[in-house]
A = this chain, B = another copy of it.
Amino acid sequence: MFFYLLRKFSKSKVLTLDTIGENVKKAEYAVRGDILKKAHEIVESIAKGKKYPFKTLTPCNIGNPQFLGQKPLTWVRQGLSLVVNPRLLDYPELPSYYPPDIIDRSKHLLTRIQGGIGAYSDSQGLLVVRESVAKYIEMRDGIGPSDPADIFTTNGASPSIDIALTVAISSAQDGVMIPIPQYPLYNALITIKKGQAIGYYMDSSDGYWSLNIEEMQRSVDLAKKNHIKPRALVVINPGNPTGQVLSEENMQQIVKFCEINNLVILADEVYQDNVYIPTKKFTSFRKVISQMGTKTELFSFQSLSKGFYGECGIRGGYMEILNIDNQVKDQISKLASIMLCSSTLGQVGIELVLNPPNEQMPSFERYEIEKNEILSALKRKALLMYELLNTMDNITCNYVEGAMYAMPCVSMSKKAIDEARKIGVTADKFYVMKALEETGIILVPGSGFGQKPGTFHFRITVLTPEISFRDLLLSFKKFNDNFHKQYRD
Contacts and interface: CB of A to CB of B under 8 A. Distances in A.
A205 interface: no
A185 interface: yes
A189 interface: yes
A15 B231 CA distance: 8
Given A9-B259, A15-B325, A85-B78, A344 B314 contact: yes
A391 interface: no
B119 A66 contact: yes
A307 B62 CA distance: 36
B91 A85 contact: no
Interface stretch (A164-172, A397-405, A467-475): A164-172
B337 A16 contact: no
B115 A328 contact: no
A87 B168 CA distance: 45
A166 B337 CA distance: 19
A114 B67 contact: yes
A131 to B, nearest CB: 17
Nearest to A9: B260
Contacts of A116: 66, 72, 313
Interface residues of A, number: 107
A80 B155 CA distance: 18
A17 interface: yes
A93 to B, nearest CB: 5
B3 A293 contact: yes
Interface in A27-41: 27, 29, 31-32
Given A259-B9, A260-B6, A264-B14, A313 B120 contact: yes
Contact of A338 (B15, B19, B188): B188
A119 B310 CA distance: 8
Contacts of A77: 84-85, 87
Nearest to A21: B170
Contacts of A64: 115, 119-120
B342 A6 contact: no
B118 A262 contact: no
B72 A81 contact: no
Interface string A2-28: 010011011001111101111111010
Contacts of A115: 64, 66-69, 313
B14 A297 contact: yes
B62 A120 contact: yes
Interface in A81-96: 81-82, 84-85, 87-88, 91, 93
A315 B344 CA distance: 8
Contacts of A7: 259, 294-295
A102 to B, nearest CB: 11
A24 B185 contact: no
A376 B85 CA distance: 24
A18 to B, nearest CB: 9
Interface string A336-377: 011111111110000000000000000000000000000000
A155 B6 CA distance: 36
A15 B167 contact: yes
A315 to B, nearest CB: 4
Contacts of A194: 194
Which of A10, A31, A324 has most chain B Cβ within 10 Å?
A: A10
A6 B296 CA distance: 10
Nearest to A36: B337
Nearest to A31: B337
Interface in A407-421: none
Interface string A63-79: 01111110010100110
A354 to B, nearest CB: 17
Nearest to A11: B262
B259 A14 contact: no
Interface in A286-331: 292-297, 305, 310-315, 323-325, 327-328, 331
A138 to B, nearest CB: 23
A158 interface: yes
A119 B159 CA distance: 18
Interface of A: 3, 6-7, 9-10, 13-17, 19-25, 27, 29, 31-32, 62, 64-69, 72, 74, 77-78, 80-82, 84-85, 87-88, 91, 93, 97, 114-121, 123, 155-156, 158-159, 162, 166-171, 184-185, 188-189, 192, 194, 231-232, 256, 259-260, 262-264, 292-297, 305, 310-315, 323-325, 327-328, 331, 334-335, 337-346
8 contacts: A7-B259, A13-B297, A14-B263, A14-B264, A17-B327, A185-B338, A192-B335, A313-B341
